[in-house]
Structure 1
Amino acid sequence: MTSLTSLYRCQQPLRRITSRRLTNFYVPTARYINTETAPLLYSAHAKVVGARKGHVEAENLVVDLTMSKALGGPGDKGKTNPEELFAAGYGACFQSAMNACAAKMGITMPTEKEHSVIDTTVELVGDMKGLDMGLRVHMKVQVKGLEKTELEKVVEEAKKVCPYSRATNGNVATRVEVVSF
């Protein structure tokens, strides 16, 4: 009970102070999968040493981390941070969900990688001193060769099935915008 209460209390301040201009952010539809009992499809593991100024190692990834200049760090070139990693992961996952949904809908996505682009911005928001922080996401979706209305339908379906969209549901303000190529 305490952990659920704590989780609920952590979410309340963000919901309560959300600006009215953010009302075009979407909330994905309900989940249909129980992630605690669902069969495992894939597992990823990463080892982090040194927090935001440290080092990450995974099976197919080795990166050094830096605190961004905006947060008072050096923002070292050639190094990354958790928000950039999250933006990359979310963008790639959402694009894969779009491809899967388009195929299911009978819509042909471009075969050239550079003709389908997800430009993802992840913002760290809140109060660092008060340790009350969260994320906000904005994606710009561009796909060459699809009509805007057709692409919007694909995006709406992808919002329902993308694992990142499902994981952030109710916790992260997310806006997905279809823009011309």
Structure 2
Amino acid sequence: MSVIYTAIGTATGREGRARTNDGKLDLQLSRPVEMGGDGAGTNPEQLFAMGYSACFASALSLVAKRMKVDASDASVTAEVSLLPLEGGRYGLGVVLRVELPDELQGEVGTKLVETAHEVCPYSNATRGNIPVDLVIE
């Protein structure tokens, strides 16, 4: 399999820094207040939410072009939750809220979102591993 692109990032933990090798991102990390932290920086769940929502929006745009529909006014919000699992482990759960323009509501919008979910690399990476709920708004 040939590689299209490789992103490289390094982090020093939940309460440290995260940086990309090209210097375009350099972020302070901290635990959210809900987890006993000061909430001063961002956290891995927020970063995952931003990546997933951007990737899904891109997949939505690609699929819309293939379907010959205009989804340029669509937006995607990813809600990423940290969940406790048995044995002291942790997992993630995702709700993807896809806001579609009025003309894409109904059957066409449903097909658009479901097909984007098949195309999106984040969706393919998480499929069968964590719960991902699609909500069309």
The TM-score normalised by the length of structure 2 is 0.92
Give the letter aligned to residue 30 of structure 2: T
Report the equivalent of 1:61. Answer: 25
2:5 aligned with 1:42: yes
Cα distance in 2, alignment partners of residues 151 and 127 from structure 1: 34
Query: Are residues 1:170 and 2:132 paired?
Result: no
* 3-state SS of 1:136 partner: strand
> C-alpha root-mean-square deviation of aligned residues, in Å?
1.4
Q: Which amino acid aligns with 1:133?
A: Y
For the pair 1:74 / 2:32, whether they are aligned, the reply is no
Higher relative contact order (CA 8 A, sep 6+): 1
CA distance in 2, matches of 1:100, 1:127: 35
Residue 127 (structure 1) shift = 4.7
Secondary structure at the counterpart of residue 47 of structure 1? strand
- In the alignment, structure 2 segments of 5+ residues that lack a partner are none
Counterpart of 1:26 in structure 2 is none
Of structures 1 and 2, the larger Rg is shown by 1
In structure 2, the residue matched to 1:122 is 80
CA distance in 1, matches of 2:123, 2:43: 21
Q: 2:111 aligns with which of 140, 143, 153?
A: 153
CA distance in 2, matches of 1:140, 1:119: 5
Alignment coverage as a number of residue pairs: 134
Partner Cα separation in structure 1 for residue 109 and residue 84 of structure 2: 33
Q: How far has the Cα of 1:160 moved from its partner?
A: 0.6
Q: Which position in structure 2 is the counterpart of 1:10?
A: none
**Which of 135, 140, 147 in structure 1 is aligned with 2:92?**
135
Q: 4+ residue stretches of structure 1 with deviation over 4 A?
A: none
Q: Residue by residue, what CA displacement relative to the aligned partner does 1:121-165 show, whole Å, maximum 9, x if unpaired?
A: 00000159x431100000111122533122111101011110000
Structure 1 length normalisation: TM-score? 0.70
5+ residue gaps in structure 1? 1-37
Equivalent position amino acid for 1:48 in 2: A
